[in-house]
Amino acid sequence: CKLHFQKLEVLCNHLYEGTDLAQRMQAEKVLLELINSPECLSQCQLLLEQGTTSYAQLLAATCLSKLVSRASPLPVEQRIDIRNYILNYVASQPKLAPFVMQALVQVIAKITKLGWFEVLKDQLIFRDITADVKKFLQGTVDHYIIGVMILSELTQEMNLVDYSRPSAKHRKIATSFRDTSLKDILMLACSLLKELLAKPLTIQDRQQESLAMHLLKLVLNCLNFDFIGNSADESADDLCTVQIPTNWRTIFLEPGTLDLFFDLYHSLPPMLSQLALSCLVQFASTRRSLFSNPERAKYLGNLIKGVKQILENPQGLSDPGTYHEFCRFLARLKTNYQLGELVMVKDYPEVIRLIANFTITSLQHWEFAPNSVHYLLTLWQRMVASVPFVKTAEPHLLDTYAPEITKAYITSRLDCVPVVIRDGLEDPLDDTATVFQQLEQLCTVSRCEYEKTCTLLVQLFDQNAQNYQKLLHSSSRNPLEITVQEGRLAWLVYFVGTFVGGRLTYTSTDEHDAMDGELSCRVFQLISLMDAQLPQSSNEKVELAILWFLDQFRKTYVGDQLQHTSKVNIYCKPCKLKQKSLCSNGPANISCIYKLWVHKIYSFNSSVLLTVTHLCGFHCISLITWLFCILNREEEKVRCIFEEAAVNSP
């Protein structure tokens, strides 16, 4: 029987606002029956025209969406009627609740996509949507917004893969839409943005702000379109290239296009300037083959000019969302362009200085938008990795700025420790996935002017280790200060492991191996210092950092493939920690340990670590466990190494 209108509205309230689970399930069941009933269309029309709540209108839109998406489609004439009815309805009701408007616009987009190749009276009847939208652009600002929303939703719907339907059909529709409509939609959006920018936009003008937001989202949807059907993984953000069609070249070669979005960034409030930067990220990711070499150089010059303007007036970057998008923008520049091309840009020296200062400031404010640091480190990692391949005579200046970036990262992480402990903040070290990712990026940056990096790290390590020793031997031990010092030492051990693990055979020198030995010596002696505190006290973070270091050291300097020319065992000089206080089981000379190490390295591989453990008196349970994992629990081999180490011990 036909449901009474009032009962429908009650069911809508139960479905969207109800807190009683039984009522909600009953409402869902009855409304599901409505979708499959012959009266569905008439009931939806009744809810839209006479509904007293937005939830009633939302239900009608939801039912229509499910109705037009069924595997067995409605007749063409009926779908045309539904589309025209909704177009007329939203035109007459421009003040609908945003979620209702969005749901109705989505119905129009679905009807258009699924009927893209439908023919009626020798006409592709559903392709005149652009003409219908232009009628909205002749009305009020509210109608402007509705028209832009329709185009934006249509672009997104065309790009959305429906796995319940054949993928070949989706690709055919998406390709046809790309070739026939998408370029015109992008040009229309850009022209409307130019008109909007020409008008003074005040913070109180909410309608104009809403229109700007929807226009920027429309442009972003156009640039995010899957042009070649590769369905790129969105998580692989740093590998993304926008495969712009060749017939779009004129849009991208026009200097006013980039200038438009940089001007929008400077003119709009933070939430909207963030969208403008998102569009610029896609512009910076445009495939290289779209341009000739001179065109690419000119395009890159315009991008760099915009970066310079933003960094010279960085007030807008105080918003976390805008800051994040700008970091993505910087990373995309190096992803898509070679270092040799960047250094040829006129403003490169000034821009690289500004980017370095921006990065250093960002690293120092470690608590602000921590997820954005990844993109800044990606930029510097890729730039430093490209240095050996630069053939131009123009200076890249990375030997000046890369050590400063490394120093800023190291010091900022050490400075954050007392703040985290004192204020009870979330410790960055607890997020090991992020820490390891950032350390891997920093590893490459640190190898640029490696001498400066090692000098800094040795200085910081000796200073903090000596402070830690003083605290341990102090008559009035301050647990808080000890915890802070252990947190700093944990970071320093992670840094040592990272830098040692970053050794590249084809670029390393004896001097670099000597520096690695200097750093490694300090960690080995810190292990003994930590073991001396057992079982009374231990620090999990330091132990985990030590395991990380040992793993990196093993990969780099322990194994059958180790080069005989490695000098890490020769240049390990005693650090400033007092040897006597470090070794609880006897004063094992570190140079003798390394001599034994190099003698045994080719026959025992990584098991030599157990010899070092025995001679130095390391009794850390987690270390022994790690060594057994390396040896795959070959207990007999372990026993033999212990016995031989005892015989050969100096």
Among 456, 461, 471, 453, CA closest to 492: 461
**Residue 282 near residue 223, CB atoms below 8 Å:** yes
Residue 523 makes CB contacts below 8 A (sequence gap 6+) with: 493, 496, 497, 546, 549
Q: Which residue type occupies 634?
A: E
Residue 639 domain flag: yes
Rounded Cα distance between 170 and 455, Å, is 59
Residue 118 domain flag: no
Q: Which residue type occupies 622?
A: S
pLDDT at residue 624 in the model: 44
**Residue 79 near residue 85, CB atoms below 8 Å:** no
**Range(s) of the domain holding residue 478:** 460-648
What is the radius of gyration, based on Cα positions, of the chain? 32
pLDDT at residue 588 in the model: 34
pLDDT-wise least confident of 405-419, 539-553, 609-623 = 609-623
Strands 119-120 and 123-124: antiparallel
Query: Most distant CA pair in the chain: distance in Å?
Result: 99
Rounded Cα distance between 585 and 616, Å, is 7
**Residue recorded with tokens 């990795």:** 385
pLDDT in tens, 548-580: 888 888 888 776 555 544 555 434 444 444 433
Angle formed at CA 524 by CA 519 and CA 529, multiple of 5 degrees: 120
**Distances 202 to 165, 206, 313, 318 between C-alpha atoms, Å:** 46, 9, 20, 20
Residue 309 makes CB contacts below 8 A (sequence gap 6+) with: 262, 266
Reading the block at residue 375, the tokens are 């993109």
Total domains present in the chain: 1
Residue 440 domain flag: no
pLDDT at residue 1 in the model: 41
Any bridge partners for residue 119, and if so which?
Answer: 124
Among 611, 500, 625, 618, CA closest to 552: 500
**Residue 565 near residue 513, CB atoms below 8 Å:** no
Residue 514 domain flag: yes
Per-residue pLDDT at 535 exceeds 70: no
Reading the block at residue 80, the tokens are 């045309």
**Distances 386 to 79, 331, 379, 577 between C-alpha atoms, Å:** 56, 14, 11, 38
Per-residue pLDDT at 583 exceeds 50: no
Query: What SS3 state is found at 38?
Result: coil
Per-residue confidence at 611, pLDDT binned at 50, 70, 90? very low
Residue 359 domain flag: no
CA dihedral sign of residues 445, 446, 450, 451 = positive
Percent of the chain with pLDDT over 70: 82
Output 303 or 607, whichever has higher pLDDT.
303
**Residue recorded with tokens 């590249």:** 504
CA 482 to chain centre: 35
pLDDT in tens, 488-534: 999 999 999 998 888 776 566 778 888 888 888 889 888 888 877 76
Q: Which residue type occupies 274?
A: Q
Residue 538 domain flag: yes
CA 385 to chain centre: 20
Number of residues in the chain = 650
Average pLDDT value for the chain: 82
Rounded Cα distance between 33 and 321, Å, is 44
Per-residue confidence at 36, pLDDT binned at 50, 70, 90? confident
Give the range with max mean pLDDT: 5-19, 136-150, 505-519.
136-150
pLDDT-wise least confident of 414-428, 467-481, 612-626 = 612-626
Angle formed at CA 408 by CA 402 and CA 413, multiple of 5 degrees: 135
pLDDT at residue 202 in the model: 56
For every residue of 586-623, DSSP letters joined together read: ----HHHHHHHHHHHHHHHGGGHHHHHHHHHT---HHH
Any bridge partners for residue 123, and if so which?
Answer: 120
Residue 481 domain flag: yes
pLDDT in tens, 443-497: 999 988 889 999 999 999 999 999 988 888 887 778 888 899 999 999 999 999 9
Reading the block at residue 175, the tokens are 């390709």
Residue 593 domain flag: yes
pLDDT at residue 637 in the model: 52
Rounded Cα distance between 379 and 362, Å, is 14
Per-residue confidence at 644, pLDDT binned at 50, 70, 90? low
Query: What SS3 state is found at 286?
Result: strand
Per-residue pLDDT at 270 exceeds 80: yes
Per-residue confidence at 201, pLDDT binned at 50, 70, 90? low
Q: What's the helix, strand, coil split of the chain in %, to 5?
A: 75, 0, 25
Rounded Cα distance between 338 and 336, Å, is 7
pLDDT in tens, 317-372: 999 999 999 999 999 998 889 999 999 998 999 999 999 999 999 999 988 888 89
For every residue of 47-82, DSSP letters joined together read: HHHH-SSHHHHHHHHHHHHHHHTSSSPPPHHHHHHH
Among 225, 218, 215, 219, CA closest to 245: 225
Per-residue pLDDT at 62 exceeds 60: yes
pLDDT at residue 125 in the model: 86
The string over 437-447, giving b where at least 16 C-beta atoms fall within 10 Å of a residue's C-beta and e elsewhere, is ebbebbbbbbb
pLDDT at residue 507 in the model: 65
